């Protein structure tokens, strides 16, 4: 059990900067998800913690120890690879036993601990088989078993669920979270799947182009995105963006775009005047925060051009003068394609067009 502290981590591959000045503290026992698109530096960051890459600059601490100069085996962290990286010439049992054998654990203790872990993961029946004869899900769990069996101080997971089918993934993500809670071991979990991030994390670190965009709980990340990248990346139906500018109209501030005029609260207008004097900013609103009525009256009129029923809810695709919006209809109102709706915007964010930062 240990805290992981990353201070000013910078990693270059040749001239390419993979990670830039990253600061991150993973509290003891937390499950932190590094979330970002491919190439954002999340895997590199994790590999630096693992010891498979050396940082160009910056320090990494596990517990109180600075581990920059330690070999992977001296760090006592376990890593589950995206490809599982099982040893094809060993049986599942030998795969899981390998880290224990390297630590010269007594034979009967190895036997006991491997069986215990296999029991816990439900793979007892595969132990005598080579991994090649196990299903994808079983291979996944053998890889987990190999990480768990030696009781490391930190778990690192590199997109461990991306190679199994969707149904099993939903199951395994809960399984991994449960295991992490039971063992109480610090975990850094790398994924590009924002649903995995949202469902599993205590804290999410959103990364893009080698820099940390935001660190926060899933609800903070979702409700208070720090900038337009985070806002765009998180959310299974993406946030709607309406480019425009803030203006005064009849003594109130409004966000005026080609399509809509949306009133802005006095508080937000004050902050905007301070943070974004040009007034050029994009309004971001989540699909579930757009309210609508089927009146033909009202300010913000738009036409429904497509329905995407999802069973529990329906996504309405709405168009106005070249701008597309997605609106979540949870109440299953009887909207039809071609209907005109009157929209109101419940909660929204403003992003400075120059910096992309949220105005808050």
Partner 1 sequence: MAQTDVSETTTNEPVPQDVVMAAQGRRLNPRKLLVVIVLYLAAFWTLVPMYWVAISSIKSLRDLAHIPPRFFPTDPRLDAWVTIFERRILENVYNSLVVSTLATIICLIIAVPAAYAATRMRLPFKFVAIVVGLMGLVALLPPIASAIPLFLLGSDLGIIDEKYTLIILYTVLNTAFAVWVLRGTFMDVPMDVEEAALMDGDTRFGAVRRILLPLIFPSLFSIAILLFIFNWNEYIIALYFVNSMKTMTLPIAIQAQIPQHELDWGVVSAAGTIAVFPVLVAAFTLQRFLVRGLTFGVASGQ
User: Within a 10 A sphere around the Cβ of 141, how many other Cβ atoms?
Assistant: 25
b (16+ CB within 10 A) / e for 34-53 = bbbeeebbbbbbbbbbbbeb
Residue 291 found at the interface with partner 1 (CB under 8 A): no
Rounded to the nearest whole angstrom, what is the least distance from the CB of residue 78 to partner 1 in the complex?
6
DSSP per position, 328-340: EESS-----TT-E
Q: Sheet containing 16-26: give its strands across.
A: 16-26, 4-13, 57-62, 65-66
Instruction: Dig out the tokens for 60 from the structure.
Output: 């990494």
What character string, x for contact with partner 1 (CB under 8 A) and - otherwise, covers 133-152? x------------x---x--
| Closest distance to partner 1 from the beta carbon of 1 (Å) | 18
Q: Does 102 bind partner 1 (CB under 8 A)?
A: yes
37 touches partner 1 (CB under 8 A) = no
With contacts defined by CB under 8 A, how many residues of the chain interact with partner 1?
A: 29
Shortest spacing between CB 50 and partner 1, in angstroms? 6
Token look-up 């599982």 returns 84
Among 41, 55, 58, 99, binds partner 1 (CB under 8 A): 99
Which part of the chain contacts partner 1 (CB under 8 A), choosing from 29-37, 67-75, 245-253, 342-350?
67-75
Those residues whose C-beta lies under 8 Å from the C-beta of residue 6, and which sit 6 or more positions away, are 22, 23, 24, 25, 26, 45, 48, 49, 58, 59, 60, 61
**Does the protein bind partner 1 through residue 68 (CB under 8 A)?**
no
Given candidates 2, 33, 78, 198, which one binds partner 1 under the rule CB under 8 A?
A: 78
Q: What distance lies between CA 189 and its chain's CA centroid?
A: 9
In the complex, the residues that contact partner 1 under the rule CB under 8 A are 50-52, 71-73, 77-79, 81-89, 98-99, 102-103, 130-133, 146, 150, 163
């Amino acid at each position: 059990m240990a805290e992981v502290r990353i201070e000013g981590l910078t990693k270059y591959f040749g001239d390419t900067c993979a990670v830039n000045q990253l600061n991150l503290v993973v509290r003891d026992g937390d499950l932190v998800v590094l979330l970002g698109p491919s190439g954002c530096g999340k895997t590199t960051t994790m590999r630096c913690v693992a010891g498979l890459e050396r940082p160009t600059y910056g320090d990494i601490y596990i517990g109180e120890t600075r581990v920059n100069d330690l070999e992977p085996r001296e760090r006592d962290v376990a890593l589950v690879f995206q490809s599982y990286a099982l040893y094809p010439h060993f049986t599942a049992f030998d795969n899981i036993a390998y880290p224990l054998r390297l630590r010269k654990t007594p034979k009967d203790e190895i036997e006991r601990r491997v069986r215990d872990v296999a029991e816990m993961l439900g793979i007892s029946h595969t132990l005598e088989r080579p991994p090649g004869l196990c299903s994808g899900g079983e291979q996944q769990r053998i890889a987990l078993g190999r990480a768990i069996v030696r009781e490391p101080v930190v778990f690192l997971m590199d997109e461990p669920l991306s190679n199994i089918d969707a149904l099993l993934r939903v199951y395994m993500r809960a399984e991994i979270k449960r295991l992490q809670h039971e063992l109480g071991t610090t975990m850094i979990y790398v994924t590009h799947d924002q649903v995995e991030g949202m469902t599993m994390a205590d804290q999410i670190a959103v990364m893009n182009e080698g820099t940390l965009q935001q660190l926060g709980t899933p609800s903070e990340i979702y409700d208070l995105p720090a900038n337009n990248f985070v806002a765009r990346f998180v959310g299974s139906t993406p946030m709607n963006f309406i480019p425009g500018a803030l203006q005064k109209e009849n003594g109130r501030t409004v966000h005026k775009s080609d399509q809509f005029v949306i009133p802005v609260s006095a508080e937000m207008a004050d902050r905007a005047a301070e943070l974004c004097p040009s007034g050029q900013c994009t309004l971001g609103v989540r699909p579930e925060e757009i309210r609508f009525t089927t009146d033909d009256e009202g300010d913000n009129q738009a036409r429904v051009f497509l329905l995407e029923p999802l069973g529990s809810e329906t996504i309405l695709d709405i168009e106005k003068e070249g701008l597309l919006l997605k609106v979540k209809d949870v109440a299953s109102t009887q909207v039809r394609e071609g209907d005109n709706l009157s929209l109101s915007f419940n909660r929204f964010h403003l992003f400075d067009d120059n910096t992309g930062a949220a105005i808050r």
